[in-house]
Structure formats: C-alpha cells, structure tokens
Chain A
Amino acid sequence: MEERIIGTVIGVTVAIVGSAIIFIGANKWFDQAGKNWKWFGAVTGGVIGGVVTTILLGNRVIAWKTSSAADATDLTWLLVPLYVVLAGLVGFLLNGTDDRTRRMLIGGVGGLVVAGSYGAFVTSEAFLAPSTLDVIIWPIIGAVVFAGIKRARNSGITTSDLLPPAVTGAGLGWLVGSWGLGTIGSGTRLEAGLGFALAGLALGLRFGLTPNLDKNQRDRLQNRSRAVIFLGPALLFIVMTLIVPTIGTFLLSFQDARGEKFIGGENYGNIFTNPQIFNIDNIGGIFTSRLTIFGVLAFVLGWFVARRKGREVGAPYDWTGGSITPIAIGATAIAFGIFTTLRGTFWNNVWWVAAVTSIATSLGLAVAVLSDRSKGERVAKSLIFMPMAISFIGAGIIWRFMYLARPPSVPQTGVINTVWVALGEATATRNGLFWAMIVVLGTIIGFALFVSLRARADDEPGAMWMSGMVAALFALLVVGMFTGVGGGSLNEAGDFVAEPYFFLETRPWNNFWLMVVLIWIQTGFAMVVLSAAIKGVPTELIEASKVDGATESETFWRVIIPQVSSTIGVVTTTLIVLVMKVFDIPKVMTAGQFETNVLANEMFQQAFTNFNRGLGAAVAMVLFFLVLPVMIINIRRDAEAA
C-alpha cells in the first residue's frame, strides 16, 4: 500500500515537473529567436537531433552496446544527448554565418556526417538492402515533383528558387527509395549508414540554402511559434484521446468482431435488425394506446386555447400558460405512448433523452421561478442542486433503496413501497388512517374551491383554472381511495395482502423509474442556469409590463420566457448530449436487464464483455450520429458568437 502511494506521488511529480521543464524550456528556446540567433540555431538543431534519435530508438533501429556479448554494458541511453549536442553544433555554426556558400557547406557536410554516424549504431535487424534502381529513380522523381509544384504555384521565379524544393523532394525521394522500398534486416551496415547520411545531407542542404532570417522575420517567428507552444500540448492530447480514436472507431465499425476483416455495413445491419435493440413490431399500438389518445386530446385542447386567446389579443396564436401547459403535457403523453410501444435499446435511449431533458428542464425552470427572491432561496437551491455532486453510481444506489420492493409476506423497507403498501392497507381495510386522509383531502379540496371561486370574483381566470384543477385532482384521488388505490388488497379470508410495486422489474415503465434518478440529479443543473438567466432579465422590462397591467403569469410567459429562451436552448442541448450517453445508472440498478438496456451499456457489453469490437464500435458510432445534430447546432452558435 505505502509503496503504491509513494509510487503514485513520485510518478505524478515527475510528470508535472517534467512537463513544466519542457514547457518553460520551449518558451526559452523561442525567446532566443528574437535575442540570440546563433543559440536559437543550436537549440533547433538539438531538438531535431533529439526527436529523430528518439524515434529511431523507439523503433529499435539503433542501439549502442560496448560489445556483442550478452553482458555488454548498454549505452543506448547516451545516444539522445549525444545527437542533441552534435546536431545542436551544426545548427549553431549554420546560424553563425550569412554567406550562402558557407551555409550550404556547413549544412550539407554537417547533415551528412551527423546522420551518417547513425550507421555506427544501427542494429543488425535494421541493416538495409536497397535496390540501385529505386535509390536513383525516387530522388529524381521527388526533386522533379516538388520543384514542379513550386513552379506551378508561383509564376516568374528563377531556377535558383527551385533549388530548395528540389532538395526537399530529393531527400524525401531518397527516404522512400532506400528505407521505404529497400529490404530491412538484410544488407550491410554501410548501406544503412548511407541511407541515413544522404537523408541528412538533404536536410542540411535545405537549411543551408535558405538565408538567415532578418530581425523582423525573427520576431514574427517568435510570435507565431508561441501559438504552437501554447496550443501544442493541449491539441496533442485532444488528437490522441479524441480525434484519432474516433476515426479508429469509425473504421472499426466496418470490421468483424476481432477488428481484422472488413465486412461493410454488416454491424449496422445487425443493430437495426436486432429486436432487442430496434423493435417497431407494435407500431400500430401507438394509435390505440390510452396515453397517446389522452396526449392528442390535450395537445388539441392547448392548440385550441392558443388559437382562441390569440384571436382575443390579435395574434395568430397566444403562447402562455393556458395553452403551453396542455400542449406540453400532451406532447409528453404522446412521446411516452410512442416509447412504451416501440421497444428496444435504441428506443430506450431516445426515451431517456426526451423524458429527462424535458422534465428536468421544466422542473428546473419551475424551481428557479418559485425560489426567485423567496425566503430561504439559497438553502432551497443548495439542497436541490446537491445531487449534482453525487456520482451516478451513488445516485443509482440511493434510488435502489427508494425503489426497494420486498416480497409481500415481509415488511416493506423501501421508502416508496412502504408508503404505497400502507396506503393500500388504508384503502383496503378502511382503517383510521383512511378516514384521516379523507378528511385532509376534503379540506384541501375545500380550500382549492374557495380560492378558485374567489379568483373568479377577482376576474383572474388563470388562478381560477389552476385551483379548480387542483381541486379536481384531489377529488380524483378521493374517488381513487374509495375504489382501492395503493399496494394491496383483501383476500377471500378478509386479510390484507400487500402488493408492492416492483419498480425495476415492471416493464416498460421501469425505464421511467430509472430516468427519475437522472431527473433528480439534473434538475439542479437546469435550475442553477435558468435561475441566473431569470435574475439577468432587466428589472425595467418586468416593471414596464406590470405598469401595462400584466398579471404575474402574463409577465412570466410574455416577458421572462422570451428573455431566457436562448438559455433554455443551451440547457436542453447540454442535457441531450449528457443523457444520450447515460450508462452508470442502468448499469448499477438493473444491469440492463428487464428491457432497460441503453446504447452506452450495449456498447460496453459488446466491446468489452463479448469482445465483439466491430459491433461495439458500430453501437458507439450510432451514439455519435445521434449527437451529431446537437454538435452542428453548437458549432453554428459558436461561429455566430465568435
């Protein structure tokens, strides 16, 4: 244990100090470009030498042992500093003179000698046997092609201007002809040494051919290189962990299970013909589902209200609480109707995105509005925000205790089922609790009716309908209690039998109970962002609308909502991206069983449990394509803002 801690500490320290030294060193290096041109040449040469030597070492092309005996001292580690010094010396000399011939001489000879000396360290596995034809033809082709490109792109240039690209082309052609096409592993040390030496000659000549930069050019170089140094490390990491792997996954998704054979679109075909993932057999059920029918009715009602109220205020439609609320409820019901009919992992994912995004955003908005400038705002917001700090795994476990259902014969201990079964017992046995609840509910209905009537007298239709609806809702509950709401019933002998609700097993709604966990977490996020946006609405606007005689609810729908609509958009897109890749919650609560699987979990199982890498990659790409529209929206928004 202690060893591991010390190891970690040392590792992290080395990584951080090492990166800091490299970074500061890089900055100092380019400082020299403006101050001391000779030293800049030395450092540049040193860096080139170091990088080339490291690559050769990494590919096991060169090594340095005192003898060929097995117990010979390994001096390989000395090679990097050695070549840093050698190449640095060449750079130093090269930048020390402005004379063209001298520069060519220093560069050419220096490159030839330094690179050629690799031949002394080349391992026998890397001996080179090039074909004579290749090493003659390819440098010529390279020189001609590069000079030709230069010629084609710039008009009116002299022959001497064509020399640098020709040298570059010849050098690259040499590399292709010797190391690229030659046989590595047979041949001689001399040929390998020549292979290095002539490449070095080309590189050195190329530097020698360009004149030294003047002061202005040096300053510009210093400035520009700073962008590279500052961006380099971050972009390198991004390319390594995001861009290259994503391209890799894309290619892999067209390959077989072991990633060896190209099989075209078969993986994608398998995904969308698998009824576990993509099942639309019951599509006709959408039209008979009670949810969709109710949803359509609510939607039409909302539309109708919008139209009618719109005519009153002289607009085609009026989007306020009276119309938006039924439309939102209707749309949600229709969506739930669709997603309980279309089954499979893919549709589960879409359901997750639709439900969590819309509900968390609405609840967040509601809390933001309710808490705005009310007593104890900070405490309330903190507590609702707190789940954001809990891991999805932790949240899944927390909610497993909420949803816990024990067999009917033993006492329930899950929070919700304890209440649910107690309610069932009350309604089934008509005990004291039952009548107490009836009294409480009756009082609430009375109050609600009272408020409704009073609002009617005050001519506030919004409040009137709102409290009327509350009264109706509670009246429904009372009716429900008489007809047996709750988890349990009486058996023939007249004894109460508990019927706990199995939240995680009852399909298809178990999916929704899992979504509740993420809603519980993300409402806080939506609330914080929207609350800040609401506080950002200019007070004058709100005051002005009040002066014009708008009620609270009108102010909310007509002033505040339009002002925060772009923020709502941001919250929605953020949540869509987040919910699309949900993984931990289904994993820890149901492990994807009982038809609650999601794409991220499917991907994990295929790639890392079944070792079907091609299929796993294809599932990952499906996720990617689902997120793509959001990405495009974000890019557009950024491009506008930038």
Chain B
Amino acid sequence: MTTARDVQLRSDSDLTPDSSRGVGDRIHSFLSNIPTGLLWIMVVLWSIPTLGLFINSFRTRDAQRNSPFWQIFSDSSNGYGSPSLANYNEVLITGNGLIDNLLNSFAIVIPATIIPIALAAFAAYAFAWIDFKGRKWLFIGTVSLLAIPLQTSLIPLLRLYGNGWTLGIPFIDKTIRFFPDLDLVGQPVAVWLTHTGFALPFAIFLLHNYISELPKDVFESAFIDGADHFKIFYKLVLPLSTPVLAAFAIFQFLWTWNDYLIALTMISSTGDSLPITVALANVAGRFGQFEHLLSAAAFIATIFPITVFFALQRYFVRGVLAGSVKG
C-alpha cells in the first residue's frame, strides 16, 4: 500500500534540500514509512521463537530454569554456568542417542523421495502426452485424491502391513491372498511405502502442470524421427523437467522428514527404528529433569530441513507456487 507514494516521497526529498522542508513534512515522511516498519516488526516477531530456542539450546539447565533466553550473556556472572555444546553432546551421543534416529529418518526419507518422483514422472507424462480414453477424468480423479485426509487410510494400511491382505469371496467360502504377510510394521519400509502412495496425487499434479506445458513441437519432431514414448520420456522430458523434479524433491524431503503421524502409526513410539520426529516427541513427553535438553533436541531435528530450505529456497518456492496456483 505504501510503495508508490513512498517512492514519490523519497524522490521528493532527494530533490529538495532538507532545510527548505517544514518539520511537519519531515515527520510525515518518516511516519509514512511505518507500514514498512510494521513488516519488520512482524519479521522480528516471527523469528523470535526459533531464535529463542536456538539460544536456549546452548545454556545450562540452571540458566534455562532461571532466566529467559536473552539473558544468555549474563549466565556465567549469575552463576548458572557458561553456555556450551554440552546439551548437544548429551542428546546426540551420550544420553538420548538421537544420532541413530537421524539415520532412521534418512532411511525413510531417501526412498520416500526418490520412488514417488520416478513413478509420478511416468504418470504425469502419460497424462500429458499419451492419448487414451478417459484420460481427463482419470487425471481429475487422481488429483482430487489430494484432499483425502490420510487418517482414513491408516487403520487398513496398518493391517495390510501387519497381516497382508486376503479377500474372502462370499457364498463359496474361499479366500484369496493378494498381498503377502510381510510383517512390515515397525520397520522403515512401512513408513516409506505409505509416504510414496500419499505423495503421488500431489506429485502427479505438480509434475503434470510442468510437463504438459513443454513445447509440443519438440515431441512431434521426435515422433517423426521414430522415437517411442519411452525414449522421448528419458531423452527429452526428464532433462527438460529438472527444475520441477527438484522442486518436488525438496517438498517431499521436508514433508517426509517432518512427518510424525505416519511414522508414529507404522512404527509406534518405541523400538529402534524411530525417526527423529517421533524421538523428539518422546523427549518432549518426558518432562522434568530432561527439559533442558529439549531445545537442543528440537534444534537437531530442525537443522536439516532448515538448511535444505535456505540452500534451495528458489526451487521450494517454485514448488509451492506450482502446487497451488494452476498454470
């Protein structure tokens, strides 16, 4: 709301020497910048929670229990002990062993990111460039599954992983087994299989938006040269779609790394396959004497997604935009 008028005012003050303007004018021009100021107030408010957590993670137990985070610099003079990496050492290695949980998270996140990308790329290509009957409605049907709350899948899926799937045929009293009893519950496989399925509608939607916009003549000339769909797919479409593949990869990485519900359902909150989010929730659930470790644990769980986020923000934003605004 401010911009144009601000620009106007700023250029005015560039042209006119300050002495020739009234005090009122100067105050007014200062105050007109308040909306921009509001923005920065909001930025500060938005950053304080994370910053506070980060600072607290270095402070000793006494310090955290007796003073707010901004008094970190007077910790040693207050006799609480000076800030150090001791909390990190304890949660990662000596105490909670979160380093194992980080590895578990990677064991889930890597397949849960790579597999849906591949499957969704094939499907998006088929929806965009292979002509077949019912294509439009199959696509709409697939994409509309985006909104399904995953809660409606959890109970039967857990059963599927635990007992397999047999279907009893009515009237003739026979059962056929469709999915073997692999006893996957409690293993990372169960989590990434679930993530793969849940990610596909969004992935297909996102990749389709991009792949269907690729220039048509590229495909036509390739067809004339005798290339089949498979060749076109891996020789042309894959290289051309790298940006959107990267966008989805980041999206999926963040989503699977930060997921709690699916991991909690498929692995439960005990055992040695817990990913970092479940382990973190466990630390948070144990109140009292370990509370001072919580901020360090939370920061460890957060550092990977935040790093990815800041390093690849451009792609991430592209993913958010392509996923919510139709092209």
Contact = CB atoms under 8 A, between A and B. Distances in A.
B25 to A, nearest CB: 10
B65 to A, nearest CB: 7
A583 B150 CA distance: 11
A523 B42 CA distance: 11
Interface stretch (A165-173, A294-302, A633-641): A633-641
Contacts of B310: 382, 386
A237 B200 contact: yes
Contacts of B258: 390-394
Looking at B49, B69, B204, B321, which has the most chain A CB atoms within 10 Å of its CB?
B49
A19 B5 contact: no
Contacts of B103: 1, 4-5
Contacts of B15: none
Most buried by B among A242, A367, A523: A242
Interface string A598-633: 001001100110000100110111011001001100
Interface in B271-327: 277, 280-281, 284-285, 294-295, 298, 301-302, 305-306, 308-310, 313, 317, 320-321, 324-326
B314 to A, nearest CB: 11
A238 B200 contact: yes
A27 B310 CA distance: 39
B140 A370 contact: no
B277 A249 contact: no
Nearest to A417: B68
A447 B146 CA distance: 50
B130 A223 contact: yes
A15 B115 contact: yes
Interface in A172-210: 176, 179-181, 184
Contact of B122 (A234, A248, A249, A613): A234
A184 B6 CA distance: 86
Interface centre among B5, B115, B136 (most CB of A within 10 A): B115
Given A184-B174, A390-B258, A528-B317, A454 B169 contact: no
A242 B122 CA distance: 19
Interface string A118-144: 000000000000000000000000000
A234 B204 contact: yes
Give the secondary structure class of A's interface.
helix
Interface residues of B, number: 124
B40 A245 contact: no
Given A180-B174, A525-B320, A230 B130 contact: yes
A383 interface: yes
Contacts of A153: none
Most buried by B among A233, A375, A451: A233
A235 B65 contact: no
B149 interface: yes
Interface in B41-55: 42-43, 46-50, 52-53
B64 A389 contact: no
Contacts of B111: 12, 15-16
Contacts of B46: 383-384, 386-387, 520, 523
A390 B194 contact: no
Contacts of B257: 391
Interface string A559-582: 000000001001100100100110
B213 interface: no
Contact of A642 (B53, B139, B156): B139
Contacts of A630: 147
Contacts of B157: 241, 245
B78 to A, nearest CB: 11
B301 A394 contact: yes
A567 B325 contact: yes
B9 interface: no
29 contacts: A180-B172, A224-B132, A231-B123, A234-B204, A237-B196, A241-B157, A241-B196, A250-B152, A252-B155, A371-B39, A374-B39, A383-B46, A389-B309, A390-B302, A392-B260, A393-B258, A393-B281, A394-B258, A401-B53, A413-B67, A525-B320, A528-B317, A552-B2, A553-B1, A583-B261, A588-B284, A608-B158, A631-B144, A642-B140
Closest 4 CB pairs of A and B: A241-B197, A391-B258, A248-B156, A389-B309
Interface of B: 1-6, 24, 27-28, 31, 35-36, 38-40, 42-43, 46-50, 52-53, 56, 64-69, 100, 103, 107, 110-111, 114-115, 118-120, 122-123, 125-127, 130-132, 136, 138-140, 142-160, 169, 172, 174, 176-177, 179-180, 188-189, 193-194, 196-198, 200-201, 204, 228-230, 233, 254, 257-261, 264-265, 268, 277, 280-281, 284-285, 294-295, 298, 301-302, 305-306, 308-310, 313, 317, 320-321, 324-326
